[in-house]
Structure 1
Amino acid sequence: MREQPPYLRIADVIRQRIADQEWTPGDRLPSRAQLAQECGVGENVIRRAQELLISLGVLEGRAGSGTYVAAPRERLRMVRSQYREQRGGSPFRADMSSLGKRGTWESRTEAKVPAPAGIAERLGIAEGDLCVRTAYEFLVDGKPAQTSTSWEPYEITSGTLVVLPEGGPHAGKGVVDRMAEIGITVSHVVEQPEPGQAEAEEATLLGIQRGSLVTRIRRTYYSDESRPVETADIVIPASSCEIIYEVPVKG
């Protein structure tokens, strides 16, 4: 069995000392040099351990002041379910409303963007075929909650009133409703979640540190003819959101 990397061992030590209430929320941790001496490791190991715990919301760094034990934060529950994909408006807004919160978003759409190879494969089109790409920043009560980059084949919506997801009379209604307006029935959606670390631009948009833990969801909507009609890459910070999958059981 491979030995645990030193910074992970030190992160566990710090976490345990917090659990034992040696340090409590708001307390300033000893300097990296002092912790390194106490733990018998280099300061770089302490730095990596602290960065990991900051990304998890256990610690918080304050510029020019040091590293502190973070106050416990309520994690937002994001439920992924077949019921959220019913017709009737934005699934995100409905999800947040059910939690008593206000869900809003900002978006930027570009039409006729050539599909990169990976996106083309997911949409079942040729590399370079034109798409409508929309970048979203989703907010909960005005605070960043997730980002998403959506791709739709231009040939599907070209010349229709739903060609721009956030423009026209059907703006903001969600993929299921918009596709129904042009006679396409969305029958199912496939989501593939995986852990990752926030890249620089993602961290800026989400208000987290670069390298913080995130959940990436690759989502694709399919028509009743099994044709992909939209695919998106969703990024959700792990420290502030937990993702719940609700799976129906038929009797």
Structure 2
Amino acid sequence: MPFGEQPAYLRVADDLRRQIADGALPPHAKLPSQASIRSHYGVSDTVALEARKVLMAEGLVEGRSGSGTYVREAVQPQRLHRSGYRTLGESTPFRQEQTDERVGGTWRAVSERREAGGRIAERLAVDPGEELMCTRYEFRVGDRPMMISTSWEPLRLTARTPVMLPEEGPLAGRGVVQRMAAIDLVVDNVEEEVGARPGLAEEAMVLGGHPGQTVIVISRTYRAGSLPVETADVVVSAERYRVAYHLPVR
């Protein structure tokens, strides 16, 4: 193959992608069959199959069991706002994760005791196997799931206090900063790391889509000075959301 020349399957995928973008293949239209692609472009079955795989990997089409492959409706990503101005202020769990006050939402949560695994133990600066309170959140806007979050707090800090369970007690449903202040821990800094990975099956069940679709993961740790008091993984669909930060300039 001459330098710079595309493989045949990419040329076919490019042309089908253009037809989707131009509306010649509108949303919900059936993609030409493998035999039709082979005949129209004069390529092999292997090339036709690989071209279809490219479009599926890009999220432009989806397979329906026993029916064929169809063009997906384009999704306009929304913004998930995060702000250095408000992260440490008064908040609910929802507002802690979405700082745009124009967006209202609800959440539900389940807490249980867990032992710290290696990765979480390192983030919380505790020994592996130490007991933690693990809380799993599902956040919704209207009837649509927006994100899921799993948080971990060291029970060495919160056990036998009114804030041991994040969603029960006198400060139920308040943010980490307020809850920790109630036990004389002043949270004054937060660290976030943003990455992406294939979504897990259980995440796809909540957020929609299918296992393997890309999700954005925000790994966050709240600290009181150098002491980690909570760490969490916030997961959103990379197709539906963009993470936007508003940070103060000092």
TM-score by length of 1: 0.85
Q: Which amino acid aligns with 2:126?
A: I
2:232 paired with 1:236: no
The answer for the alignment partner of 1:135 in structure 2 is 136
2:34 paired with 1:29: no
Q: Which amino acid aligns with 2:132?
A: C
Q: Which amino acid aligns with 2:190?
A: V
Contact 1:162–1:178, Cα closer than 8 Å, also in 2: yes
CA distance 1:234–1:103, change in 2 (3 Å): same
The answer for the alignment partner of 1:124 in structure 2 is 125
- What SS does structure 2 have at the residue aligned with 1:17? helix
Question: What is the CA–CA distance in structure 1 between the aligned matches of 2:165 and 2:11, rounded to whole Å?
Answer: 50
The answer for the alignment partner of 1:92 in structure 2 is 94
Q: Which runs of no fewer than 5 residues in structure 2 stay unpaired?
A: none
Residue 14 of structure 1 deviates from its aligned partner by 3.3
Question: What is the CA–CA distance in structure 2 between the aligned matches of 1:108 and 1:91, rounded to whole Å?
Answer: 13
The superposition leaves residues 107-135 of structure 1 with CA deviations (integer Å, 9 ceiling, x where unpaired) of 11102x21011111110011111100011
Residue 24 of structure 1 deviates from its aligned partner by 2.3
Residue 10 of structure 1 deviates from its aligned partner by 5.7
The answer for the alignment partner of 1:195 in structure 2 is 196
Q: Which runs of no fewer than 5 residues in structure 1 stay unpaired?
A: none
Percent identical across equivalent pairs?
42
Contact 2:110–2:136, Cα closer than 8 Å, also in 1: yes
Question: What is the CA–CA distance in structure 2 between the aligned matches of 1:146 and 1:5, rounded to whole Å?
Answer: 38
Structure 1 range deviating more: 12-21 or 144-153: 12-21
Contact 1:138–1:147, Cα closer than 8 Å, also in 2: yes
CA distance 1:37–1:242, change in 2 (3 Å): farther
CA distance 1:126–1:60, change in 2 (3 Å): same
The answer for the alignment partner of 1:70 in structure 2 is 72
Residue 70 of structure 1 deviates from its aligned partner by 2.9
The answer for the alignment partner of 2:110 in structure 1 is 108
The superposition leaves residues 194-225 of structure 1 with CA deviations (integer Å, 9 ceiling, x where unpaired) of 121111111112111111111111111111x2
Contact 2:81–2:99, Cα closer than 8 Å, also in 1: no
Residue 8 of structure 1 deviates from its aligned partner by 6.7
TM-score by length of 2: 0.85
Question: What is the CA–CA distance in structure 2 between the aligned matches of 1:52 and 1:163, rounded to whole Å?
Answer: 43
Give the greater-gyration-radius structure (CA): 2
The answer for the alignment partner of 1:221 in structure 2 is 222
Q: Which amino acid aligns with 1:67?
A: T
CA distance 1:6–1:200, change in 2 (3 Å): farther
Contact 1:11–1:52, Cα closer than 8 Å, also in 2: no
Q: Which amino acid aligns with 1:131?
A: L
Aligned length: 244
- Considering only aligned residues, what root-mean-square deviation do their CA atoms show, in Å? 2.7
2:54 to 49, 56, 64: 49
The superposition leaves residues 207-248 of structure 1 with CA deviations (integer Å, 9 ceiling, x where unpaired) of 11111111111111111x211111111211011111112222
Contact 1:77–1:243, Cα closer than 8 Å, also in 2: yes
Runs of 4+ in 1 over 6 A off after TM superposition: 1-9
The answer for the alignment partner of 2:212 in structure 1 is 211
Residue 15 of structure 1 deviates from its aligned partner by 2.7
Structure 1 range deviating more: 78-87 or 176-185: 78-87
1:14-25 equivalences under 5 Å are 14-25=16-27
